[in-house]
Structure 1
Amino acid sequence: MNQIKKHPVENLGYNFIPQEFLPEGKDEFYIRFQQNPATDYRQLTKQEIAILKSNGNRSDNWSQVRVRDGIDILLIEECTFFGLVRIGKLEPYFLEFSQLRTPVGLYRSLIVSCDIGNNVAINNVRMLSHYIIEDEAILINVNEMSCTSHSKFGNGIVKDGESEDVRIWLEICNENAGRKVIPFDGMLPGDAWLWSRYRASERLQHALKAFTDQKFGTYRGTYGTVGKRTVIKNTHIIKDVKIGSDAYIKGANKLKNLTINSNEAAKSQIGEGCEMVNGIMGAGSRAFYGVKAVRFILAPFSQLKYGARLINSYLGENATISCCEVLNTLLFPAHEQHHNNSFLCASLVMGQSNIAAGATIGSNHNSRAADGELQAGRGFWPGLCVSLKHNSKFASFTMIAKGDYPAELNIPLPFSLVSNEVHKDRLLVMPGYWFMYNMYAILRNERKFADRDKRQEKAQLLEYDFLAPDTVNELFDALRLLCRFTGQAFYQQHQIIGSSAEHEQKGKELLEQQAPVVNQLEVYASGFENSHRPVLLLKVQEGYAIYKKMITYYGAALLATHLDQTSNKSLPAIRKLFEEADERTTWLNAGGQLIPEAEIHRLIRDIENGKLENGWLQVHAFYKEQAALYPTRKLRHALRALMEIRGFAAAAVDGPLIRELLTLAADIKSWIATSVYASKAKDYENPFRKMVYASTEEMEAVVGTLKDNPFINEQLKEAEEFRQKTEQVLAAITF
């Protein structure tokens, strides 16, 4: 049966911290008085007590109701007070927010051991217990709003007297909890990635757990808080929740064990029907319309909408999930998932991603156990009704066409299109698809994600450029694979036996020479799918050429931009730039921030060796240090890539070469802008798109005119400005 305990009513509101957990010489209010150190409260006068009683108010001990001078005692009606209640100045105003108007004061509420700020409006709060309410907050029609002495506010910590099994973990990336991390307020995507990836190091895992524990005390007695100007209305249950200023909560069903960060520049909101438990919301994040979230982190300016379900997952900055279900997943910033019938589980998706309707990306649903994983680089775009099998891994900017993919996939070719040719029972992969057929989308998304980055504090430097150290390294790897598979196809056609090195050498020879025989070969890949069916590579020659073209543009464009911004444009200074471009190193995507792998390993060693005494603060300082170094390192990476792809050494850098490279950068930039136009123009030329309109005029009225497309015009303008810039740079270089 239920254990109902009886206590004397005069004890209600006291003994918040159990006696055994009180430090020596402290009382139950010592934490509360640290949270609100104000001392300008006084006891009520006899006249004020009489007025309160006449207004239908009650208290078990009026001496424990304290007020500030300037309070209009008439603004307290039909309230019941227990414990120490401290009330700020109440004046005869009404507060207005979003067409809600309500008088300042306390009305028809049960208030237990709370601090209430100046000019607060509290009306019909049936239970308000152990909260600190700051100035000009509005609380209307709340059934229960309480805080326990062991409140953790969504952080995965353990309080005095609690066992380890009460600790909250986020079981991200894998359903079997093998990559679980401890959530904490301020956790960055890079933190979650670092903790979940390097599981083999027990010292690292123990250290990160210790960092989290030391960030928060184990002491009991912290009160819940509601920040200034926060509005809460028509909500059922709020328990153990810490709420920042300027938040807006309306019609929520249940909010429990949460931190809701919010401030005047980044207002967080929770809307009707939401149920959110064991989580942390970053500043500027939002949840609306029946959202269910359990064991979660919403990074700043991320949002959940329309019945979305987010469980055991981290949603990065500037990301949106609507309608669908996401479980056990780590999502880097700028993720989009909008449709009710999509399912994403046990995945690491590294940002700038979009999951379409009908996509079912699960773990134990299509493998033998709940221990599968999917890893996808930046720009992951599975199309409509895509079903994938775990384990699978995808290079950056992989697009997957509609289909039920029966086996695990490992697609190492970036910017490719993957499709399932069912009638011939084979997998098709087209390298460079984005560049050949959808330049509009890739450029628009790059710009869109950067424009939508509303973070006030950019704790990690997020890379939105589709050409960056991570993707360019993948392009180099893809070039070698295309050479190998092409050479292998040539050898097989001519019934010649050769090694992988010989295949790669022959393939490179054929592709570099653009030999006509390449178009006559059926080039098959190996290791792309866990099956015996063939994997056919499409348009290999075109893909190889366009990969090289984009690497050239990456290096030459960054060189042009750097020379435009630097004052020293002498040939020796330019040659020195190339000399400083050492070996092209491996880079990792650490939560949307690109960092050299060697630097990540150095950080891990420092953590393992106990050199980070300030824990997560120093980890976050590491991100900022790496962000400051990134432009220089990216430039060096780009110049090394340029030397590799064009086949020259730093000593060969002279005037004609610089002129050639900068002119080539301008030419490719113009080609990109033209490709953006051409890929969008197809929408206006395709008869199947035009057939739903009675005339061209009607179509343009509905979708706009091609010539007036602002993004296309912007790209064309940027290309022309870039060409002018390169010409000015060339004129300024002292050869």
Structure 2
Amino acid sequence: MSILKKKPLEQLGYGFIPAEFIPAGQDEYTLRFQQNPRNDFRDLTDEEVQQLIKNGNWSSDWSKVKVSAVFDPNQIQHCKFYGLVRIGNLSPSYLDYRNLKLPIGLYHSTIVSSDFGDDVAVHHVGFLSYFIVGNEVLLSQIKEMETGSTAKFGNGILRDGEEPEKRIQLELCNENGARSVYPFDGMQSADVYLWTRNRQDVALQKRFGELTDQKFGSQRGFYSQIGDRCVIKNTFTIKNVKIGTDAYIKGVSKLKNVTVNSSQESYTQIGEGCELVNGIIGYGCRIFYGVKAVRFILASYSQLKYGARLINSYLGDNSTISCCEVLNSLIFPAHEQHHNNSFLCAALVMGQSNMAAGATVGSNHNSRAADGEIIAGRGFWPGLCVSLKHNSRFASYCLIVKGDFLHELDIRLPFTLVSNDVQHDQLVLIPGYWFMYNMYALVRNANKYEARDNRHFKNQYFEYDMLAPDTVNEMFEGMDLLALAVADSLHTAAGKDVQERIIAGRALLANNMDLKNQTIVLQGAENSRRPTVIQKVGEAYHLYRSFIKYYGVLHLMDALEDGLSLQDIIESLADKARTSWQNIGGQLIESNALQAFLNDIKSKKIDSWDEVHEFYHDKSKTYALDKREHALLSLMEILNLEGMALSADKIVSLLDQALGHRIWIGDQIYKSRAKDYKNPFKNMVYANDEERDIVVGKLEENSFINQQQKELETFKIRVANLKGQF
């Protein structure tokens, strides 16, 4: 039942904040004047009032209408004013935006207690209340623009006197709401990740809430704001919003309780048919054509398009969701999802990910309860029509073949192809699949993500390289898992403990034992009684080892080229061991440093979200050196497994191995792309090779392959120069 309240007309425009919530020594305008401290307004002259009335304008109290120095009453026509209205300069000009040309001034609008900057063009705004409008703003054909005294602009806070259930929360990673966080303007994917994890640490969880509350305070009475040079037209409802400068908003159905970050360098656009409620929108975003988003954060330079639905979710920087539906998910930067029948629910997806058409990650088809959770490392790629069961977990760069996976999965082998062999009723894994069969895409994707990172201020380092502390640590674990699977499948070291069986499996793999006719089964990868079969075990084991060694030598080369001696490097690593790392929103941080940081939050040594973000920035500055140390320790560990140590007499051999590996990568890049030119099924849609080359481009002119060849030549020179030193 709708409850309509009838009050005296003379009260319209006053009493914005209930009297009991106005602090002592303040009035209902205190916060408004803080938001807009401009004070060059004057009273209207009697002649100006008479001209305004002649132009069809009306005010309940003309003394409450203030204007600035440059004012012509003829530029205000057929408007109604209630409460204190302040109008900036009105020059005899018009604003022109994409062929929409409207004269500066206020026309055919109802305005309640609002401020306007210089040279605004306000046309046919049905109802505008409690707004602060910037300079050179164009508002046209808007049904209603409202602000309530408890406006929070998408932030998960409470105003004075509000009940706790009024607080907006994002129910992330799990449908039951047990990993909820309070959203706030400026929230990073790392903030969300740390907050959704560590639920057992009650003190830490409490601190995250405190940091959010103290960032904004609880006082009522903030006005909605529209920044300079914004254009808003043909829109129905705008309520409780904070919009930055230079935003372009057209044809929107509803913007309610939303912050829209925008600037001249990174302007945000929102288009036709969108409904956005309870959200934070980052800089440089694009939202178009029927998007529905509720309880969400859209990080900078991301896009929602063509009917996308984003609910109770965080979408990281430089990501795109088009057509699809995403619920209760935390998604790190560089995510792509384009197909109307793709569905993602109750998931933590760690970036550089791609959801194919028909992929269904969470659908309530597998349980009577709410969907659980899926955790996917970066590079996650569920293929066509993949259906996954909660709870499941995937290492980095898992590619999943089309199929219905009826059991929970725990895939701890990175760079793996996961397939469901229905005929033989088994799960099949090919670890290192990307290295073997699609090096072109693997290497190109890293370059693509870097090129698409449009952030103007890259003060938080996002890792896009396939070889980094997280993936290398996974490859180390993968080597152990493969060795254990071989030992157990061949009944080597039966009855021994896990470590002894791993050592036995390593010995078999190191000796290049022929395993083609052997069935190697991995335990613990699927929650079922059927086997999980690993194919190409030997190749995968040696590829993991080769890439770890290559990763280490690359950073060894950098250290030597920076002027460090080999002895200095070895001494700096003495008594150190490779450590674990975490991907916290696209940024990799060493686990011990991360834990110390969380302890500092609990102890209030770190006492604001700004200080939290400063930690991310500081770790980004030192990341290159931290990563180098991890790489060198990884190299020493691999050499130790091979019965060697890092020494001067090994350098030349290591450099030669790295060069050989780099040449092999280049060959694999070329071969994986060349397959498309040799495949008759790929070519059958073209009349001849000439037409194919026009449509898809000539192989020999492929810019990425040619760039890789140039980088290889540079790499050869670097290797030669370093070898000359030894």
Tell me the TM-score range normalised by the shorter chain. Answer: over 0.9
Contact 2:362/2:371 (8 A) holds in 1: no
Partner Cα separation in structure 2 for residue 722 and residue 669 of structure 1: 8
1:510 correspondence with 2:501: no
Q: Which amino acid aligns with 1:173?
A: C
Q: Which amino acid aligns with 1:604?
A: L
Contact 1:72/1:89 (8 A) holds in 2: no
Q: Which amino acid aligns with 1:414?
A: P
Instruction: Give the structure 1 partner of residue 551 of structure 2.
Output: 554
Q: Which amino acid aligns with 1:635?
A: R
Instruction: Give the structure 2 partner of residue 657 of structure 1.
Output: 650
Instruction: Give the structure 2 partner of residue 212 of structure 1.
Output: 212
1:525 correspondence with 2:519: no
The equivalent position to 1:604 in structure 2, one of 598, 614, 636, is 598
Task: Name the SS of the counterpart of 2:142 in structure 1.
Answer: strand
Q: Which amino acid aligns with 1:148?
A: G
Residue correspondence of structure 1 range 255-404 to structure 2 within 5 A: 255-362=255-362, 364-404=364-404
Partner Cα separation in structure 2 for residue 6 and residue 180 of structure 1: 39
Contact 1:292/1:310 (8 A) holds in 2: yes
Shift in Å, 1:562: 3.1
Q: Which amino acid aligns with 1:351?
A: G
Shift in Å, 1:578: 4.6
Query: Considering only aligned residues, what root-mean-square deviation do their CA atoms show, in Å?
Result: 1.6
Contact 1:459/1:620 (8 A) holds in 2: no
Distance 1:388 1:653, change over 3 A: closer
State the percentage of identical aligned residues.
Answer: 53
Q: Which amino acid aligns with 1:575?
A: I
Divergent runs of 4+, >6 A: 648-651
**Deviations for 1:141-191, whole angstroms, at most 9, x for unmatched residues?**
000011111100000000011111100000000000010000000110000
Partner Cα separation in structure 2 for residue 662 and residue 579 of structure 1: 22
Partner Cα separation in structure 2 for residue 231 and residue 487 of structure 1: 67
1:573 correspondence with 2:568: yes
Contact 2:241/2:257 (8 A) holds in 1: yes
Q: Which moved more, 1:500-509 or 1:20-29?
A: 500-509
Task: Name the SS of the counterpart of 1:450 in structure 2.
Answer: helix
**Deviations for 1:510-550, whole angstroms, at most 9, x for unmatched residues?**
1101022x222110111000000111100111111111111
Q: Which amino acid aligns with 2:507?
A: E
**Deviations for 1:337-372, whole angstroms, at most 9, x for unmatched residues?**
000001000000000000001011116332241151
Task: Name the SS of the counterpart of 2:443 in structure 1.
Answer: helix
Distance 1:725 1:232, change over 3 A: same
Distance 1:497 1:605, change over 3 A: closer
Task: Name the SS of the counterpart of 1:142 in structure 2.
Answer: strand
Shift in Å, 1:499: 4.4
Partner Cα separation in structure 2 for residue 74 and residue 146 of structure 1: 26
Instruction: Give the structure 2 partner of residue 729 of structure 1.
Output: 722
Contact 2:387/2:405 (8 A) holds in 1: yes
Contact 1:149/1:221 (8 A) holds in 2: yes
State the TM-score, normalizing by the size of structure 1: 0.97
Contact 2:636/2:645 (8 A) holds in 1: no
Q: Which amino acid aligns with 1:609?
A: S
Q: Which amino acid aligns with 1:607?
A: I
**Deviations for 1:202-240, whole angstroms, at most 9, x for unmatched residues?**
101111101000000111110000000000000000000
Partner Cα separation in structure 2 for residue 428 and residue 653 of structure 1: 37
Instruction: Give the structure 2 partner of residue 540 of structure 1.
Output: 537
Shift in Å, 1:4: 1.7
Q: Which moved more, 1:67-76 or 1:156-165?
A: 67-76
Instruction: Give the structure 1 partner of residue 579 of structure 2.
Output: 585
Instruction: Give the structure 1 partner of residue 28 of structure 2.
Output: 28
Instruction: Give the structure 1 partner of residue 250 of structure 2.
Output: 250
Partner Cα separation in structure 2 for residue 49 and residue 671 of structure 1: 82
Instruction: Give the structure 2 partner of residue 629 of structure 1.
Output: 622
Partner Cα separation in structure 2 for residue 398 and residue 168 of structure 1: 34
Q: Which moved more, 1:649-658 or 1:298-307?
A: 649-658
Shift in Å, 1:458: 2.7
Instruction: Give the structure 2 partner of residue 17 of structure 1.
Output: 17
Partner Cα separation in structure 2 for residue 141 and residue 119 of structure 1: 18
Q: Which amino acid aligns with 1:105?
A: G
Shift in Å, 1:609: 2.1
Instruction: Give the structure 2 partner of residue 690 of structure 1.
Output: 683
Partner Cα separation in structure 1 for residue 573 and residue 158 of structure 2: 53
Task: Name the SS of the counterpart of 1:209 in structure 2.
Answer: helix
Task: Name the SS of the counterpart of 2:636 in structure 1.
Answer: helix
Task: Name the SS of the counterpart of 2:700 in structure 1.
Answer: coil
Contact 1:363/1:369 (8 A) holds in 2: no
Q: Which moved more, 1:518-527 or 1:646-655?
A: 646-655
Contact 1:346/1:363 (8 A) holds in 2: no
The equivalent position to 1:673 in structure 2, one of 666, 679, 691, is 666
Residue correspondence of structure 1 range 111-150 to structure 2 within 5 A: 111-150=111-150
State the TM-score, normalizing by the size of structure 2: 0.98
Partner Cα separation in structure 1 for residue 578 and residue 603 of structure 2: 28
Partner Cα separation in structure 1 for residue 495 and residue 599 of structure 2: 46
Q: Which moved more, 1:134-143 or 1:717-726?
A: 717-726
Which consecutive unaligned segments of at least 5 residues does structure 1 have?
A: none
Contact 1:670/1:720 (8 A) holds in 2: no
Partner Cα separation in structure 1 for residue 325 and residue 155 of structure 2: 23
Contact 2:244/2:262 (8 A) holds in 1: yes
Partner Cα separation in structure 1 for residue 564 and residue 217 of structure 2: 55
Q: Which amino acid aligns with 1:341?
A: N
Distance 1:663 1:574, change over 3 A: farther
**Deviations for 1:18-43, whole angstroms, at most 9, x for unmatched residues?**
11111112111000000111110000
1:241 correspondence with 2:241: yes
Partner Cα separation in structure 1 for residue 197 and residue 671 of structure 2: 41
1:646 correspondence with 2:639: yes
Instruction: Give the structure 1 partner of residue 222 of structure 2.
Output: 222
Instruction: Give the structure 1 partner of residue 704 of structure 2.
Output: 711
Partner Cα separation in structure 2 for residue 406 and residue 694 of structure 1: 43
Q: Which amino acid aligns with 1:31?
A: L
Contact 2:459/2:620 (8 A) holds in 1: no
Distance 1:642 1:353, change over 3 A: same
- How many aligned positions are there? 726
Shift in Å, 1:563: 2.6
Q: Which amino acid aligns with 2:502?
A: E
Task: Name the SS of the counterpart of 2:544 in structure 1.
Answer: helix
Contact 2:276/2:293 (8 A) holds in 1: yes
Shift in Å, 1:459: 4.3
Task: Name the SS of the counterpart of 1:424 in structure 2.
Answer: coil
1:595 correspondence with 2:589: yes
Task: Name the SS of the counterpart of 1:427 in structure 2.
Answer: strand
Instruction: Give the structure 1 partner of residue 488 of structure 2.
Output: 488
Q: Which amino acid aligns with 1:603?
A: F
Which consecutive unaligned segments of at least 5 residues does structure 2 have?
A: none
Partner Cα separation in structure 2 for residue 54 and residue 108 of structure 1: 14
Shift in Å, 1:674: 1.5
Q: Which moved more, 1:693-702 or 1:173-182?
A: 693-702
Q: Which amino acid aligns with 2:523?
A: S
Shift in Å, 1:656: 2.8
Partner Cα separation in structure 1 for residue 571 and residue 642 of structure 2: 12
Shift in Å, 1:726: 2.2
Shift in Å, 1:649: 11
Q: Which moved more, 1:239-248 or 1:569-578?
A: 569-578
Distance 1:496 1:228, change over 3 A: closer
Contact 2:489/2:520 (8 A) holds in 1: yes
Contact 2:488/2:494 (8 A) holds in 1: no
